[in-house]
Structure 1
C-alpha cells in the first residue's frame, strides 16, 4: 500500500509539472466568466462564455459547485454541462445555479470550457467563504480530474458570501447596454432594429452608450454611423435590401464588441502598471 501511495504521489507530481511546463494559456480565444448576484436568500451563479476570436467556436462546458463541510471535511460536488456554438465576438450565458446566501461552508465554483478537441480553453474560479487555512482538497480533486495545474487560491480570487458579490468595486449608478437611435429613413430604422436585436442577443451589455445615426450624403443617399461614446466604429451607405442591412448590422455588432473588449484590455493594463 505504501509503495502504491508513493507511486501515486510521484505520478501526480509528474502530471502537475508537465501541465505547468507547457504553460497552457486560458481565456485567450474563449473567455470563461463566472457572474454572481445575491439577494436576501440566494446567490445566483451564472457561467458565461465569450468568443474573443474571429472564427466560430464549437465548445462544451462544465460548471461545478463544490461544497466542503467545515465540520466533517466532507465534499459534495454538483456539475452542470452542455455544448454550445459561439459566433465571433458572441457572448452567451451557459448555465445558472444557486446556493444559499447564508452558506457557512467553503464553496468552490469552477467553470471550464473545452474546445472541439476537448482541450481546456477557458477557465474561471470563485471561492465563497475562503480562508487562508482552509483545506484545499476539494479544489485539488476537481483540478486533478480535469488535468489542470494546481494553483494556490489567492485572496484576490475569493468572494465572501456575506458581502455583495455583484458590486465588483463600482460606485454610484452605472447604465449599461444602452443603444440610441436617430435615423431618417425606413432603411435606417430597419438597420437599427437588426443591430439592436443582434446586440441584445449576444449579451454584450456595454458600459458606454452606442448610438445609431443617419445623415444625408451625396445625392439621395444616406450614411449610417455607429458610434460608441462618440467614437466612430462603423459607417456605411444605406440600402433598403434586408440581406445587406443584416450583414452591416452583424459587422457593426462585431466592431462594437471588439471596441468594448479593447476598453477592458486597456483598463487591465493600466491597473497592472
Structure 2
C-alpha cells in the first residue's frame, strides 16, 4: 500500500507540475505549502506543522519547513525528510532538534545549504555531517551548543595555520638574512677604517720613536748614575767647561798686561817731569 501511495503521489506531483507549466502559473499551492514550479521550491514556513507534509514532491530542490512544531527527534519525521534526495537547500530552523548525531539526518547527497537555527541544539557529535558531501553553508545561530564540532574545528584550524607557517618562516629567514648582510657590510667598513687608522697611528709612533724617545732617555737617566753616562756626552760637557776656563784665564791675563802698561806709561811721564 505504501508503494502504491508513493507512486500515486509521484504521479500527482508530476501532473501538477506539468499543469502549472501549461497554465503559465509560477506559484501553486500544494497542501499547506506554496510551490514555485520553475525552482521546484516548497515554502512551508509558519504553517503550524507537526509533521512533514506528504504532499511535498520528492524531486523538490528547495524546502523551507522553518518556524513549525516539528519534533525532529521523531524517527517518523526524519524518515519523511529522507525522501527528498534531490534537495540542495533545506531550512529546518525554529523546530525541535536538541542533539545531532551521525545518523540523525541521514544522507543528503545534493544538500549544499542547511539551516538549523533556533532548534534548541545543545550538542553536535563528530561525523554528523558525513552524509552531506556537498554541504557548503551550515547555519547554527541562536542555539545553546556547548562544544561546537571540536574535531571539525581542529581540522579547520590546522588547515588555516599549516600553510601560513612556511610563509612566515620564509619571511623571517629573508629578514634575518638581509639584516645579517647589512651588519656584515657595516662591520667590514668599520674594520677597514680601524685598520687604516691603526696603520697610520703605528707609522707616526715609529717615526717619533726613531727621532726622540723621552721615555728611554728618562729610563737611562734613572737606571744609571752619572758615572755610567755615554763617553761622548761626558767629553762634551768637560770640553765646554775647559773652554770656559781658558776664556776666563785669557781675559784675566790681558787685563793684567793692560794695567802693567798703564803703570809703565805713568812712570815714564813722571820721569819726564822730573827731568824737566
Verify same fold: TM over 0.5.
no
TM normalised by structure 1 equals: 0.18
- More helix by percentage: 2
TM normalised by structure 2 equals: 0.18
- More strand by percentage: 1
